[in-house]
Amino acid sequence: MRRSPLVSIVAFGMFAGAVLGGCTEAQTAPLGMAASQGAGAVAVAPSLTKSAAVQNNMPVSAQDSAVEAERTYSIVGVGDMMMGSDWPQPGMDPRVTPGANASAVLGQELAGIFTDADVVFGNFEGTLHSSSREAKACGSSRYCYVFRSPPFHAEYLRRAGFTLMSNANNHSRDFGESGRTATVTNLTNAGIAVAGGDRDGMRIATQTLDDGRRVALVAFGHNPGLLRVQNYARVTEMVRAADAQADIVMVSCHIGAEGAAHDRVTRATETYLGEDRGNPYRFARTAVDAGADIVFCHGPHIPRAVEVYQGRFIAYSLGNFWTYGRFNLRGHNGLAPVARLEVDGEGALVSADIVSARQDRPGGPYLDRSNAAAQRIAELTARDFPEGRVSIDASGQLDWPR
């Protein structure tokens, strides 16, 4: 959501006037994070307490405006996830079981990044159900993958901290529309809001934070039955629709050619296996111009560059995050970046860093102390967007022209 310049000036004036008008011993609340495990845990930046406002003769309404102006929200995004498929042959991670804690795979530190965030996003690359109905037939096992994960994976992901999920990708119809419907139902019943097909009830997902602020997700892909990444008029329409009902708008895109040879943001239409896979650069810019605050793309199975455009964050591919079984995890395919953002109440980027995780065969992410994912994204960003002057330091922290 975009704040008008007039509103920004008024808000800043109220905040500055309130602070400058008070005495020099004004107290500040400590930096902290709400402890709630629910969908609405909110990070609160340092702010004047109400008692300090009264002590300094600051009107409570002005103090409330100052708190609102300072408050930020933590948003975490990752790429493709499919934690094991039982179709046509079982290929399941023995660590992922009903009732298990995700820290058994992720480790405590990486797991804490997800449970501490206000919003956690991922792309579920497959289906969640137990039916064999409408299973996709494969002509070539080399290029054909059919994924069916057990329904309990939905609850497992919710306990891991995920709150918003895309199911708009080339595996969401591995079991036809019935499989897509079952997947969305299982995720929704677990407490995860889902954006998936181009159908009523699936186009826009919303999460309400504990202060009433709303976050919307619209998900796009390049396959039949999805909001199409190539239809820019529809991209604009749907982002504006999401912006009308939420304070912060996130856009997901399954887009671009696949594999290590396709790590560049070409700014042109990409094809793969004879398919039009969209133009990631044009798509992301169109989405932000329409009102998107965050764009998380995935699909190439490797990391790509990031960009800050109009003060909004774009990740052109977050690669594979949690992909168990037949996925290629060699080289850069094994890098599993985690985008960790702080945004203000209208989605403008306040801070960002790339947390580096990685996967080894057969799969499952863990924290990578070498920071290889962040270093790779730093290289790609400098190469593909030199004009943007976004830098990423050795720890993964982003800096960009304000």
User: What does the DSSP assignment read for 112-157?
Assistant: HHHHT-SEEEEEE-SEESS--TTPPP-S-TTT----EE-THHHHHH
Overall size of the chain counted in residues: 402
Distance, CA of 322 to chain centre: 14
Q: For residue 267, is it within any domain?
A: yes
DSSP helix, strand, coil percent of the chain (3-state; round to 5):
30, 25, 45
Q: For residue 22, is it within any domain?
A: no
Predicted local confidence at residue 65, as pLDDT: 53
Query: Which residues of the chain carry a pLDDT beneath 70?
Result: 2-69, 141-142
Tens-place pLDDT, residues 103-141: 999 999 999 999 999 999 999 999 999 999 999 988 776
Q: For residue 8, is it within any domain?
A: no
For 331, which DSSP code? G
CATH number, domain at 85?
A: 3.60.21.10
Q: For residue 299, is it within any domain?
A: yes
Q: For residue 20, is it within any domain?
A: no
Give CA–CA dist 267/255, Å, rounded: 12
139 Rama class: left (phi>0) / alpha (psi -120 to 50) / beta? alpha
Phi, psi angles (nearest 5°) of residue 370: -80, -10
For 305, which DSSP code? -
The dihedral built from the CA positions of residue 181, 113, 312 and 315, taken in this order, carries a sign that is: negative
Give CA–CA dist 389/402, Å, rounded: 11
The reported pTM is 0.84
Largest CA distance in the chain: 75
Q: For residue 300, is it within any domain?
A: yes
- Classified as helix, coil or strand, 350 is strand
Predicted local confidence at residue 30, as pLDDT: 33
Q: For residue 390, is it within any domain?
A: yes
Give CA–CA dist 334/105, Å, rounded: 15
Q: For residue 280, is it within any domain?
A: yes
**Domain range for 230:** 73-131+144-399
User: For the chain, how many structural domains are there in total?
Assistant: 1
Q: Is the peptide bond before 362 cis (omega within 30 degrees of 0)?
A: yes
Give CA–CA dist 399/349, Å, rounded: 11
